[in-house]
Every structure is written in structure tokens, then in C-alpha cells.
Chains A and B, each alone.
Chain A
Amino acid sequence: MQTINVKVNGTTYQESVPIRMLLVDFIREVVGLTGTHVSCTYEGVCGACTIHLNGEAVKSCMLLAVQADGHEITTVEGLANDKELSPLQKAFNEQHGLQCGFCTAGVLMNMTEFLAKNPNPSDDEIRHGLIGNLCRCTGYVHIVNAVRAAAKSIAN
């Protein structure tokens, strides 16, 4: 066991965890935030577990919780400001960017960082940015529409 201090969505958690614990399980089981999903049995290929580690999109099943010691994490629960949805979350709602929603948390986390780096992306750039997130429902068309709409609304 090792004691770690991790700030999740602004709150610091000091917890003792087994070294082999994956960060995604720390977030879901220890912190109790279940918006971050596991959909490929931790194989690192689906992107549903994507979170921000110090502001960057990473797959949380590819890290040990102890690696996050001393760092800041944002999960999908941390995107809204109070009850006010982020522009990307609003766009997903308005553009029907999700169906079952299983992939959505990971897509939102990845695309939030993507838009911060690429405020005016082409559709090709959006699609290229989405490679790490598998969606079994939407066929991606509405996801791309939502990301494009969010870029416009952030610019205005």
C-alpha cells in the first residue's frame, strides 16, 4: 500500500492504495466518481476511461493510481461549472452527440483538450482527434457535428 494525494475536480484526496491499483479504479471505486467508464477491460484501446491529468487527455486504465500522486485530475464530473454545462457538453446535448452514452465521458474529456489546442478545427482534424475513442452507436457523425458546434460557440 502507498499513500497518495491526488486532486480530483478541485478536491484533494489522501488515500492509501495498493500499488497495482489502476487510476481508473481509484477514480471509480475510491473517489466514487463513476462517470469515467471502462469499456475494453483496461486494454487501452476504447478511450472510455479518458480523463485529464494536469489538463491533458490520457487513458486512466493505462496509469497506476500511484503515478497520479501529487497531480491534478479532472473527470467528466468536473467539466460543468456548478450546474452550467460546458459549451462542449451543451453541444453534445443539442446535436445528439450520444446515444447510449457509454463512450461519452471519454469523448468529452479528449475533445475538451483538443478544442483548447485547436480552437478552429476542420472536420478532418476533429475526426483525427477522435481516433482514441470508440463509439459503437453514433457512427461519429453527430459527435463531429457537436465538436464543430462547440468550437463555434466557444469562438463567439
Chain B
Amino acid sequence: MYPAHIESYYRPTTVAEALAAITRQPEGDSMFLAGGQSLMQAIKSRMVRPTSIVDLQSVAELRGIDQANGLRIGAMTRYVEIAEYEQFPAAYAALRDAAERVGDRQVRNRGTIGGSVCWNYVASCLPSVVLALNGTMSLASADGSIRDVKAKDFIIAPLETARREDEILLCVSWPKPPPKTGSAYKKWGLVTDALPVVGMCVSISLDDLGKCRTAQVAVAGLADGAQIADAGGAALIGSAGDEASISAAMNDVADSVETHSDHWADASYREQLIKRLGVEVTLRAFARARR
């Protein structure tokens, strides 16, 4: 595992400079480098061989968490910053659940939300969270235009997103949270904080009577990567947050998605994980929505 020859290295300080640098090379030869916690592995194993690296570490406008107008998390915001941010509204608390359990301290000190969703690894945490929370990805290109893409249109398949190679992800954002909304995420991996064999993210909004008004469920770790489970969201509507109705909804989730067997877990074990983790995170999402 060692990188092949790399021709050039740029460290732009603005988004415009970063986009100019990425378009200077023929398409595919140049890659953005964020925390490097996925890309460096791919470069070392020579799965990708960029001739040019555009390091985003000094682009200040890509960093930080801001709640001036809804919630905006800059693409270069690291897991450690999300894990230590104490002001997430209940609606977006799943972001913190996920970030504080990614890998290990050293990975969280480098890895970014932008890198995670742009890489969209088959077994990863943040892609499922942005799906369940219906985040918006803002992408900028060299001609100065910016387009907003909803998570469900952005996350396409493992290692595949709606981002074009010459686009930079600026941020992931959300509107001001609707009232009585809560979310939660939890995963199970082979060792503590490992990549998810299964991860579950649930977002719930309650009506005035405390019944579920809208719900969104996403599953991480499927053969097709992170996926929304529409059946789960639909089955939770009307639930008062009791374990029986949540259990029934999570059975629907397990039935509706296709689980696979690999050296980590077989398909039926994955189904059990979906049900068990699903009930646990849905109860937590309800509790957070009630607060």
C-alpha cells in the first residue's frame, strides 16, 4: 500500500481557486482531498490514481456549523467538531450520534462530513443520516453556479453520487426544524465503532397529540449502500411511540429491504439487526421529539 506518483499538489484558499485547480486537469485526473480517511486508502491501494491533488484544508468557507438560518454544516467540518457540538436541535441529533462513533479518535480528528457523503462508501454512517434527515447538498462548479440536490437524489449507489467530478460540495443544510421532531442513529459493527454491518437512522415528527405525523427511516450497510426504507416511514405514521407499533414498523423495514450475506454477517442476522437497532433508535427519536 503506497501511493503511485503524483504530479502536482494544490492548496487553494477559496472555493473559486479550488474549482479552478480541479478543472485545470483533464476530467478524473485531479481529485479533492478532504480528511483523506477514505481517499488516502484508495490512493495507497491504487484503486484511484490522481495525477493532481487539490487539498481543501485551507478553504475556510467550507468549515463550521452554523444555525443562523436552519442548520448548515460546511463540507470540511470534521467528525470531531460534529461530535462535540452541543447545540443540535432534537430533529438533527442523529448527526451527533453518528459522528461520535465513526472509527476512532484519530479518524474523527481528520474525517469530514463532506468526504463521507461524497465517497458514499457501501458501509458508512453519514450517508444514511443525511438520507433519513433529508439534507440538502449544495454543489458549486467553476462557472460560478450552485445547485442544490436533496440527499435522496445525491446518494445514488456505493461510491456513486450525483456530484460531477468538477463540482465541489459546499455544505449540507437543513431548514429550521419543524416542531416536535427528533432523530437518532445507531450502528452495529464487528468491533466497537467499526464500519456499520447495519446502521439505522430514524427521524420522527409528532402531531399535537403525540402521534407520529411524518417519519423517515434509512438503513446503512446494505449491499446497495445506504437506502431509505419507505415502508418503515409509512408504517410509523400514527404510532404513539409504543414498542408494539414500532416493532411492527421495523419488521416491515426488514421485509422491504434486501439484506445480503457476507463474511461479516448473514442475511438473516442483518434482518435481526435492522429490527433490534430500528426499535432502539425509533424509541430514542420519539423521546427526543417529545422534549
Contacts and interface: CB of A to CB of B under 8 A. Distances in A.
B53 interface: yes
B110 A64 contact: no
A22 B4 CA distance: 11
Interface of B: 1-9, 11, 33, 36-37, 40-41, 44, 53, 55, 57, 80, 103-107, 109-110, 191-193
A113 B80 CA distance: 13
B193 A131 contact: yes
Contacts of A66: 9, 55
A24 to B, nearest CB: 11
Contacts of B41: 43-44, 62
Given A62-B36, A128-B193, A131-B104, 12 more contacts: A20-B2, A20-B5, A56-B80, A58-B110, A59-B107, A62-B40, A62-B110, A67-B55, A67-B57, A110-B106, A131-B193, A132-B106
21 contacts: A2-B9, A20-B4, A42-B1, A44-B37, A56-B109, A57-B106, A57-B109, A58-B110, A62-B37, A62-B106, A62-B110, A63-B110, A64-B3, A64-B36, A67-B55, A113-B105, A131-B104, A131-B105, A131-B193, A132-B103, A132-B106
A35 interface: no
A50 interface: yes
- Interface residues of B, dominant DSSP: loop
B3 A20 contact: yes
A57 B1 CA distance: 22
Contacts of A50: 106
Interface of A: 2, 18-20, 22, 41-44, 47, 50, 56-59, 62-64, 66-67, 69, 110, 113-114, 128-129, 131-133
**A-B pairs, 4 with minimum CB distance:** A132-B104, A20-B3, A19-B6, A131-B104
B7 A19 contact: yes
B9 A59 contact: no
A45 B157 CA distance: 25
A128 B3 CA distance: 31
A4 B106 CA distance: 23
B110 A43 contact: no
Contacts of A67: 33, 36, 55, 57
A86 B248 CA distance: 56
